[in-house]
Structure 1
Amino acid sequence: MSMVLAPLRYQEDPEKGLAGTFGFGAGNPNRIESSGDNDGNAGGGGGYFGGGNSEIPQHCGGGGGSSFISGYKDCIAILNSSTKSDIKFSNSFDPSIHYSGYKFTDAVMIDGKTSMPSPHGGTEVGHSGNGYIRITQFETNYVSCSQKYSMNIFSYFILLIIES
């Protein structure tokens, strides 16, 4: 099952909030109290598609952005011809691979309801504060074979017979 996460479009009804767009979470600089202070509503998190935010006073949470990992099953890459206002998705044999051709192998994507490594050590379910990414390089054993030989023209004899 493949899924395409598309941004919600801006709603004219202010009680529905603002939608994120490709690469950006929703924010609303107009959410100012009569005192001149920001009312505290959070903006949405950035991501492949950014999360939305609430325009209702006292509804402070912003939605998290979506994830994309090139080569990850069920992710769908955008095309190189995409623009910020016109996102086009890959429909290639393996649409998960980014148009650069680079892909991850053995990647793990963890949803926000599952225990995950914390940026400060330990684990946590969900995450508050700034987003983060953790890329871990594991020890790699390189095997290098260097073939060394010396060629002696008398060591090889090739008999080639051509008949006409």
Structure 2
Amino acid sequence: MQSRPVCAASRPHRWMWWFVLGLLWMTGCAQPARQIAAEEPAWSGRIALQVEDQSSQSFSAMFELHGNAQNGGLVLLSPLGSRLAQLDWQNGHAQLQSGQETRSSDSLDSLLQEVTGTRIPIEALFGWLQGVQVSATGWQADLSGIASGRLTARRDDPAPKATLRIALTR
């Protein structure tokens, strides 16, 4: 008995099934979009922080930041886009969500330090991102690359020394 050749057009393409499965997987991992007011400042990109102490800590993530030092939010994302942490603040109250754990505080600085491992001058950071040289104790910001989306800030005092690098995507 001789088998008949099957027309390639009549059988489903395996690559199409893999494409559909991949699309479903990516949709399942997607994070819902947050609503941000059109006039509210917002930035996204990559952030890296290196703290030079005995253990020489470093931290790197993609980020989305919106608002200002009084009311805003920061989302830290892994290279694959999954949410590592979300920090929201408003009216002197801050909330950090990391994994299944949620913590609240009256101090945005303490929760931000918990996430990054060191104090970051949040008020100055918002100024720097807008290209304004804002003074922050111990920190020196290099805004020469801000027009091309690059920001570097260094803290020499108080110890430990720290370097913050930001590369903006929008």
Task: Name the TM-score class by shorter chain.
Answer: under 0.3
Determine which structure has the larger strand proportion and give its number.
2
- TM-score, scaled to structure 1: 0.27
- TM-score, scaled to structure 2: 0.26
Determine which structure has the larger helix proportion and give its number.
2
